[in-house]
Amino acid sequence: MRSLFTIGLISAWYSSNIGVLLLNKFLLSNYGFKYPIFLTLCHMLACSLLSYIAIEWLKIAPLQRVRSRLQLLKISALGIIFCLSVVGGNISLRYLPVSFNQAVGATTPFFTAVFAVVMTAKREGWVTYVTLIPVVAGVIIASGGEPLFHLFGFIMCIGATAARALKSVLQGILLSSEGEKLNSMNLLMYMAPIAVLVLFPAAIYMEEGVIGITVALARDDWKFLLYLLFNSALAYFVNLANFLVTKHTSPLTLQVKLLGTGKCKRGGGRGYIDHDIQNPVSVTGMLGYSLTVAGVVLYTEAKKRNM
């Protein structure tokens, strides 16, 4: 029964992710709306509001109070780290091709494994760690064979990747720690407003004129506002499902599942900046990408055998 529940969670998570991605592409194609940071800001506003309604009005989950300053600090760190992953990922896409950005993102399980050991002392079997070697080696090879390599973009991409991994581990702690445990809905309700406070100035600075453009699009076509609201509401279910999957599996397994679906558009629509989707890929780069994918497959098989 527990396995069926977990499969259902993952299926719901995949489905809602696909829905958000399709809506993101629709907004880009039909309205030219290429503002991923502002879109993520809308997502977090929806998460704040819908979580509050679900807890306070609908009583779907009991309200849990923040118990200590340390717990509040961890929740704040989670929100800030999430924002750093979004902003860093978008900055990196200005300098790096999408294909290379995805290859670097494939090292997320490696960083997750490192942070899990450092922060929780939780260790996987040695075979699991061995399977992560080709994942990292593939990125190193791809870096050497990338004709459009940019050092600053690479640093930002690695930083965003590490931030995603740290977020997964930290949310796992907040969802399962006996002394500081929060259910998924409460954690999202507390984390989302903090993310809004960080994302708002980032959107204003990095996506100049986005508020005026959004208002103008809404005035010209009221359906745009409807699509934006539905997109934000669906993103709430994506984030909620993300927390639930983390709780019922593990942060490391979560990140490899993400890679397995080819989901490197994290952060609520980073795929908007796919202006260089037709960038040339060298033979060395293809070798690196293939090695990375092989590592993900090996990891999945290792986890199956250890279950």
pLDDT single digits (tens) 81-119: 999 999 998 898 888 877 677 778 777 877 888 898 888
Q: What totals of helices (H) and strands (E) does the chain contain, helices first?
A: 12, 0
Residue 229 in tokens: 């609201």
Higher pLDDT, 304 or 200: 200
Handedness of CA 26, 27, 30, 33 (dihedral sign): negative
Contact status, residue 75 vs residue 194, Cβ threshold 8 Å: yes
Residue type (1 letter), 29: S
Highest mean pLDDT among 35-44, 258-267, 295-304: 35-44
- Whole-angstrom distance, CA of residue 176 vs CA of residue 182: 8
Residue 54 in tokens: 């679900």
Residues 248-274: pLDDT tens digits?
Answer: 666 666 665 555 554 434 433 434 444
Contact status, residue 125 vs residue 180, Cβ threshold 8 Å: no
pLDDT number for residue 193: 97
What is the pTM (predicted TM-score) of this model?
0.79
Q: HSE-up of 98 (CA within 13 Å, CB side)?
A: 16
**15 contacts: CB under 8 Å, gap ≥ 6:** none
Q: Is 95 helix (H, G, I), strand (E, B) or coil?
A: coil
Average pLDDT in the chain: 82
pLDDT number for residue 269: 40
Q: HSE-up of 109 (CA within 13 Å, CB side)?
A: 32
Report domain extents, the chain: 2-267+281-306
Tell the burial category of 227 from Cβ atoms under 10 Å away from its Cβ (0-12, 13-18, 19+). Answer: middle
Q: HSE-up of 170 (CA within 13 Å, CB side)?
A: 22
